[in-house]
Structure 1
């Protein structure tokens, strides 16, 4: 009798314990993780549309005139040479492939730049990684407020990258929606209003997302204002050569600031201008006062990189390095970059001409005065929704379109759709 009572009590305890385990299992470790905002996936909406003449203007990569991804011939040649060389797959150093970073610095700053002998530079995980390294460096060592001013609007990831690096993000005036152009007066006013010694992010060329760039004369005035306030300049140069077709013209702002005595930070990307999107090849550099400072800065950049990803990938860097360091490949690449830029410029002109031919009463000059892959059309979110629902034209609701998605075949239909929506 006593044994039966013990067994019953044990079974009851086991049952209670089992129920408790069920309760414990229900309370997941990640039960309190909130749902993030939904992705606005233009590509998925585009894929779901069965209309044969649909147009995708949301893609962030270059497309040829048939709307297909484009691999540069110089890249194919360089990659074949890299593979044929049967090189090993050993780790690169923390700052990457040195032949690549040296060539990337010359491309950005110019072969005769005074910055080259006092430059701390590291290969990065494309432009995003370069920004992240730079943000972390500023968060640790920038002597002023740990705040960085970015243009309004800016590339959507800028704020997220800098906030995750530990910086506070503020905005400065940049785009004037009434003129669909640069708010130059507002920009200068905000530069002058910021506390002395603040950090400012500038798009070197082909401003993303607006396609609106300052003129060289405006850049000179911006530089003078930055110098007068003692501000620090961080340039994001994701489109060198791809914007105008001229690597020197697109680097004007960076080189002018350095020539005027600014020790700038620079994020470079080779996604657009070499089509190395998935290879994730970029560089982050800081112009230092002298060799001694360069040595200290370089040591701290390595300390930042080491726990982030240890060292960068080598394959894409070897491709880019071979192109930049082989005269024949380099010249071929320059022609290809210009061809890509020229196609974008041609599509801008064709869209404007088609809208005018349809009798649109609106001024579309901003389409051709803007530069680079992206253009701000001036269309409202509601008009962009209408383009998608009624005309199968897909782009972001802020009115930005990727000009790379426009082709000789679809530009006429695109103009008709915009005309029906906008007039």
Structure 2
């Protein structure tokens, strides 16, 4: 029987998930998946944070817990705790009651809320994000109807650092009323963020051009192991007096990947603006997912609002950050000892979960087909997918790929 859906084109596969599917089908004994964007232990296993297990056990036996709807804007305790974590308890935005949080379906949902709101309520039609960036940035804004979705230069492939002059030139040419996405820390995929001095120049330009800044803060704590230090970008824009948005994700620093726990922070000029924005954001939520889930938000709120649990969680974050740094150092030293052609200092200079290795598509193809090591075609790898057990094999494969197929 013919189908009404028969003429619909098959959508292209989502690269990172397709890569994992290929990995799962591979029977090679030394296969390695460096593509998945999730923390792994040195045994290559997902890590459920001990403090999360503790809280979940308490939730399961708490007779006061139920499954009633949350407020449309989300769990009050969660939103307040998320904002304090992001901005600091003494933030002027919090003290002056001009910041609002809207619980979202992960960081992705928070970005979607921002895109939808800026399009419908503020009339924005332009969005600029870095090249390269997390692929969903482009898709979300296009799906919200933005007709001018562009990328500003960001990565200097030759020197393996930020192309700051190119970035500033492209942003200076952008029209006013543009949503500009910045990565708060641990830029995905390059692991490289602007310096404090460069951030000042970006803020000066954004102020002059009247940009709406959206900071994607998906990895707070993963860059340095210090939550306050990793919040510098957001806190700087608050200090400068900007009205802007921040997408918060608790997938990485709480390990709540499939709980989709996020928050959209909206920093406003005053309390009246905050109330107006919240009322309209609730309408966006109502017509998008209607009501947010409880489980992940309850975990985050329980940890952040309990001093003992909070202290334990900060140690967990440092454990993850330290392991990532150790893997960076080990890979760098292995490549150095092998005499691998090229400059590899960027491996230890980059921050966070991902490294933009500099491997080209042909070299990536060799890694996958010859060595069964799976990574994105742009050369991005998940540093914590490396372990003390597979490090030598991966380093040797990189050396072979680079030697066989030079840039």
TM-score between both structures, scaled by the size of structure 1: 0.92
- Following superposition, the deviation at residue 383 of structure 1 comes to 0.5
Partner of 1:334: 314
2:287 corresponds, among 307, 322, 325, to 307
Partner of 2:7: 32
1:149 corresponds, among 114, 121, 128, to 128
Partner of 1:10: none
Partner of 2:153: 173
Partner of 1:259: 239
- Following superposition, the deviation at residue 121 of structure 1 comes to 1.6
Partner of 2:363: 383
Partner of 1:205: 185
Give runs of aligned pairs for residues 33-112 of structure 1, distance below 5 A: 33-40=8-15, 41-86=18-63, 87-112=65-90
Partner of 2:272: 292
Name the structure where helix makes up a greater proportion of residues: 1
Aligned partners of 1:66, 1:216: CA distance in 2, in Å?
Answer: 36
- Following superposition, the deviation at residue 218 of structure 1 comes to 1.6
Aligned partners of 1:285, 1:141: CA distance in 2, in Å?
Answer: 17
For structure 1, the 5+ residue unaligned runs are 1-24
2:214 corresponds, among 219, 234, 237, to 234
Aligned partners of 1:224, 1:128: CA distance in 2, in Å?
Answer: 28
Kindly provide the CA deviation profile for residues 233-291 of structure 1, in whole angstroms up to 9, marking residues without a partner as x: 11110001122211111110111011001111011000000000111100012111211
Stretch deviating more after TM superposition (236-245 or 324-333): 236-245
- Following superposition, the deviation at residue 88 of structure 1 comes to 1.1
Aligned partners of 2:198, 2:399: CA distance in 1, in Å?
Answer: 33
Q: Secondary structure at the residue paired with 1:221?
A: helix
Aligned partners of 2:295, 2:22: CA distance in 1, in Å?
Answer: 34
| Greater Rg over alpha carbons, structure | 1
Partner of 1:214: 194
RMSD: 1.2
- Following superposition, the deviation at residue 39 of structure 1 comes to 4.3
Aligned partners of 1:81, 1:422: CA distance in 2, in Å?
Answer: 51
Contact 1:352 1:364 in 2 (8 A): yes
How many residue pairs are counted as aligned between the two chains? 397
Partner of 1:126: 106
Aligned partners of 2:161, 2:303: CA distance in 1, in Å?
Answer: 36
- Structure 1 stretches (4+) deviating beyond 3 angstroms? none
- Following superposition, the deviation at residue 227 of structure 1 comes to 1.6
For structure 2, the 5+ residue unaligned runs are none
- Following superposition, the deviation at residue 331 of structure 1 comes to 0.5
Contact 2:248 2:263 in 1 (8 A): yes
Q: Secondary structure at the residue paired with 1:278?
A: helix
Aligned partners of 1:273, 1:215: CA distance in 2, in Å?
Answer: 23
Aligned partners of 2:268, 2:112: CA distance in 1, in Å?
Answer: 19
